[in-house]
Amino acid sequence: MTAARTLRFTEPREVEVHERPVPDPGPDEVRVRTEVSAVSPGTELLVYRGEAPTEMATDATIDALDGTFEFPLTYGYAAVGRVTAVGGEVGDEWLDERAFAFHPHESHFLATPDELVRVPDDRSFAEAALLPNVETAVNFLLDGDPRVGEQAVVFGQGLVGLLTTHLLADHPLADLVTLDCYPERRALARDLGADRAFAPGDAPTTVRDALDADATPSGADLTYELSGDPSALDDAISVTGYDGRVLVGSWYGEKRADLDLGGRFHRSRVAVESTQVSTLSPELRGRWDKARRLDVAWRRLADVDAERFVTHRVPVEEADRAYRLLDERPDETLGVLLTYD
């Protein structure tokens, strides 16, 4: 059997693929051979660039992500493959099952069945690899609570930003406006249902002027900051109207956001709130849990043409090229899958 391969972030802008023996499952485990794993264009770029706070836990809610962001580390949370071996206490029905796991980039890994999510027969490996991104977009809408007739603005049309736009477009909003640096992403946002798509330099005056002039109060009701650029947060607040909501889905890592809160903001009653998929809003926990949210993400994934979001497939042995594409050529790179032969 070929050796197992594990991707490790070793220092800023350096990744290595290490080989080790293919592991055998313990009594309550299964072994998964990965077919594809998706690179997170936001969080993983922070890790790759060395911009994540090293003392911070990678994700306390995912067992496979123990430790901190200090180099060297393994990371990733969108692995899809087939079960190739089961432990003695696991039923044979798991053999050859297609499964998704919140697991780092690795060609073979061990997990318990309750850490796996079966991939429906009508979903491809590539589609399943986008599940965390769709779940994140679902969480953004749960937290933002878009209401009929509202005006929504989305800063950032990367992978998660576009998926958020796609979900928002299904709501009966008065206006849906997006902003992104790259013309290709702005065009895709319009294809996905945005009423207008601007470059960030157009904000905030042009965006406020573009919103429905008949809607009151003026300015956006709901604004998402998903660009990953701290400077966009000030503009996001500026385009938001009185008593509006700003949801910050970007993770800036160690980068600081410089905000002008001394003028209009002081009297605007604009609420600025973080939104992140690791947890559910306390207000929702009476009727929602992660299983329900994930089920919604699977259903919404059926409406997504995954291939239009995947721009590159890169063998895991060439992972350095995948991260350099995201880091250096974002104008032509959106969704990147690592493949495992």
| 60 has pLDDT over 90 | no
Per-residue pLDDT tens over the stretch 204-234: 677 877 776 666 668 899 999 999 999 999 9
Tell me if 25 sits within 8 A of 86, measured CB to CB: yes
Does the residue 294 lie in any domain?
no
Identity of the amino acid at 286: G
Distance CA 155, CA 178 (A): 6
Distance CA 187, CA 207 (A): 17
Per-residue pLDDT tens over the stretch 247-273: 999 999 889 988 888 888 888 899 999
Tell me if 161 sits within 8 A of 299, measured CB to CB: no
Pair (182, 125) in one structural domain: no
Burial of 112 (0-12, 13-18, 19+ CB in 10 A): middle
Pair (126, 157) in one structural domain: no
- The CATH number of the domain holding residue 333 is 3.90.180.10
Pair (212, 243) in one structural domain: yes
Does the residue 329 lie in any domain?
yes
Which two three-digit tokens encode residue 30? 């299964």
Tell me if 31 sits within 8 A of 83, measured CB to CB: yes
The model carries a pTM of 0.95
Does the residue 293 lie in any domain?
no
The CA–CA distances, whole Å, from 215 to 145, 265, 299 equal 18, 20, 32
Distance CA 195, CA 179 (A): 11
| Last residue within a domain, chosen from 274, 290, 314 | 274
Which two three-digit tokens encode residue 71? 């180099």
Tell me if 81 sits within 8 A of 98, measured CB to CB: yes
- Containing domain of residue 174, as a range? 135-274
Per-residue pLDDT tens over the stretch 141-171: 999 999 999 999 999 999 999 999 999 999 9
Pair (168, 264) in one structural domain: yes
Pair (25, 126) in one structural domain: yes
User: What's the confidence (pLDDT) of residue 204?
Assistant: 67
As a three-state string, the secondary structure of 301-315 is HCCCCHHHCEEEEEE
Mean pLDDT value of segment 27-39: 98
Distance CA 329, CA 311 (A): 12
Tell me if 120 sits within 8 A of 204, measured CB to CB: no
Distance CA 187, CA 185 (A): 5
| Last residue within a domain, chosen from 254, 274, 294 | 274
Mean pLDDT value of segment 296-301: 94
How many domains is the chain built from? 2
Pair (104, 177) in one structural domain: no
Pair (33, 102) in one structural domain: yes
Burial of 282 (0-12, 13-18, 19+ CB in 10 A): exposed
Q: Provide the edge-to-edge strand list for the sheet that holds 240-248.
A: 196-198, 175-179, 151-155, 220-225, 240-248, 271-274
